Amino acid sequence: MSNPEKHVHTAVCPFCGQVTQIELETAEPSDQSLEAAAVKACECGEAVLLRRKQAKIADAKDCITEKFKSGVPSCVAELLAPALKYLFDGAIDEISIKINPEFTGKVAFTGDNFTIERKDVLKTREEI
Ligand SMILES: [Zn+2]
């Protein structure tokens, strides 16, 4: 059994500037991965909010993938998923895709939760 070698790096939170020592398996991480690690480690308000946003969006994306994986063209999930960040940020209130009078896929953000709706023969709705 071998443990991957760890390398200690200095990472700076892009929001508050706090400097953190982090261990990564790579000796030469990208600026992006250092920044992501700093955000993951930092407890400032912006870092906490960004982590919450990323977790919410990931959960909602999983729900969209699951909800629209069968019975509709794959473009429904492919179009709805990228809209999640704009919904979370408040740039848009709601996005819906209508394929025919019988099918509508809709995603909205209420300020706390995403609402993901599929109106088909059967209507289902989740709050995450
Ligand atoms: Zn911070």
Q: Can you tell me the distance from the alpha carbon of 44 to that of 51, in angstroms, rounded to the nearest whole number?
A: 11
Q: How far is the CA of 24 from the centre of ligand 1 (A)?
A: 19
Average pLDDT, the chain: 91
| 123 vs 88 pLDDT, higher one | 88
> According to the model, what pLDDT value does residue 123 have?
62
Per-residue pLDDT band for 61 (boundaries 50, 70, 90) equals very high
- Read off the pLDDT of residues 67-82 as tens digits, 9 standing for 90 and up: 999 989 999 999 999 9
Edge-first strand order for the sheet with 94-100 is 94-100, 103-109, 114-119, 123-127
Q: How far is the CA of 84 from the centre of ligand 1 (A)?
A: 24
The pTM assigned to this predicted structure is 0.75
Given a cut of 60, is residue 114 above it in pLDDT? yes
